[in-house]
Chains A and B, each alone.
Chain A
C-alpha cells in the first residue's frame, strides 16, 4: 500500500519507517542505528525531555513533506507513533 506526501512523492509504510528512524537517529547520535525500532520510546529509552520532540518538525517537513503540528509531536511516545502520525498525514493513492 502506498501513499503520497504533500509534494506528490509516493511512500510505502516501510519507507516512512526507515526515513523516520534516520531522523530519530540523527537527533540521538549516541544510539546505534539497529537500537532504534518502532518500539523505541522517545522519552523513556532515548531520554528526550519535554521539548526535544519539537526538533522532529523540521526534518519531517523537509524529508517526508508533511507538516506535523507541535501539540501532536509533544504527545508522541514511540518511534512507531511518529511513523503512524506521518503515515496518517499522507494521502491515500
Chain B
C-alpha cells in the first residue's frame, strides 16, 4: 500500500506590506496552485512526496507564480509561470506554462487579453496561444464576494476563447467556501475542441496551519490542455500560498 508523506515547500517569506498608496504604484507577487485563474492562485501550491516500499520516492508538484503590476490608470498586466510536474506523473501528464496578460475594466465587465505557452513534460506537444476572457464584475449574490458573514461562499464565471491551432472557446466557473481555518474550492473548465466538449475539474480542501502554510487535500480529473487526454489524481500534502496584495 502506498503511503503518503509530505514535504514542505520552501518559498519566500512575505515582506511587510507597504502603505496602500505606495503599493498601488508597485508590483505584487502571488504564489499558489496555478496562475490559470484567480481561484487557482488562492489554492495553495503543493508538493507531495509519495513513498512505496521497495520503490523510489515519487513527487507531485502543482505550483504557479504571478507578478502583477500597473499598465495604465485603468489597465494592469500580469506575467506568470506554472508547473504541474513530479515523478509520479508521466511526461505526457506533466505541464509547464508561461503567460502574460493585460486586463482592463469596462464596467460592468472585466476583459483580459493574453498569450500563453504550454508544453507537456516531454516537450512533444507545444502550444502557443492567444487568449481573450471576460467576466462580470458582480451584481449577483456571491459573484466576487461572500454572500454574507455567515455564508462565506463566492463564485466567479469566465468566458473565453483561445487561438492556437484554431479557435477554442471555453467557459470556467470557480467557487470557494471558507469556514474558520478551513477553505474549500472547486474550479471547472469546459473547452470546445474540434467540435466536441472537454472538461477539467480541480478541487481542494485546505486547513490553514500558520501564515501561508496549509495542510491540503487536492484532486483533479478530466482532460486539460495541451493534450486533452484523460487524467486524474488525488493527494494530500503541505501547501503554500503568498499574496502580497491583500
> How many chain-A residues does the 8 Å CB contact rule pick out?
31
Quick one: CB contact mask for A25-52 with B, threshold 8 Å, 1 for yes?
0011111000100000001101111111
Contact with A49, one of B20, B70, B145, B150 (Cβ below 8 angstroms): B145
Query: Is B126 an interface position by the 8 A CB rule?
Result: no
Q: Does B146 contact A (CB under 8 A)?
A: yes
Say which one of A2-10, A15-23, A70-78 lies at the interface with B. Answer: A70-78
A71 / chain B contacts, CB cutoff of 8 Å: 24-25, 70, 73, 76
Please determine whether A51 and B20 come into contact, CB atoms closer than 8 angstroms.
Answer: no
Cβ contact of A70, chosen from B21, B28, B74, B148, cutoff 8 A: B74
Contact check, B147 vs A70: say whether CB atoms are below 8 A apart.
no
Specify which chain A residues have a CB less than 8 angstroms from the CB of B207 in the assembled complex: none
Residues of chain B having any CB pair with chain A under 8 Å: 17, 20-21, 23-25, 28, 38, 70, 73-76, 104-105, 107, 110, 135, 137-138, 141, 144-152, 154, 156, 178, 245-246
Known: A51-B135, A55-B137. A72 touches B144 (CB 8 A): no
- Tell whether, in the assembled complex, residue B24 and residue A30 are in contact, meaning their CB atoms are under 8 Å apart: no
Cα A71 to Cα B24 with chains together (Å): 6
Chain A residues positioned under 8 Å from B178 (CB to CB): 47
**Chain A residue at smallest Cβ distance from B26:** A75
Contact at B75–A72, with CB atoms within 8 Å? no
A77, B144: Cβ atoms closer than 8 Å: no
- In the complex with contacts A54-B107, A54-B110, A31-B76 CB distance below 8 A: no
Which A residues contact B (CB, under 8 angstroms)?
27-31, 35, 43-44, 46-52, 54-55, 57-58, 69-72, 74-77, 81, 84-85, 88
On whether the beta carbons of A57 and B144 are closer than 8 Å, the reply is: no
Contact B76 A30 (CB under 8 A): no
Q: Report whether B246 and A44 are in contact in the complex, using a CB–CB cutoff of 8 Å.
A: yes
Residues in A with CB closer than 8 Å to B20 are 72, 75-77, 81, 84-85
Are A49 and B154 in contact, CB atoms less than 8 angstroms apart?
A: yes
> Can you offer 29 A-B residue contacts whose CB atoms are under 8 A?
A27-B138, A27-B145, A30-B141, A30-B147, A30-B149, A46-B145, A46-B146, A48-B144, A48-B145, A49-B38, A49-B144, A49-B145, A49-B156, A50-B38, A51-B156, A52-B145, A54-B110, A55-B107, A55-B138, A55-B144, A57-B105, A58-B107, A70-B76, A75-B20, A75-B24, A75-B245, A77-B20, A81-B20, A85-B20
Q: Which residues of B contact A28 (CB under 8 A)?
A: 145-146
Extra A-B contacts (19), CB below 8 Å, given A51-B156, A70-B74:
A27-B138, A27-B145, A29-B148, A35-B149, A46-B146, A47-B146, A48-B145, A49-B38, A49-B154, A49-B156, A50-B245, A51-B110, A51-B144, A55-B107, A71-B25, A72-B24, A74-B76, A76-B20, A88-B21
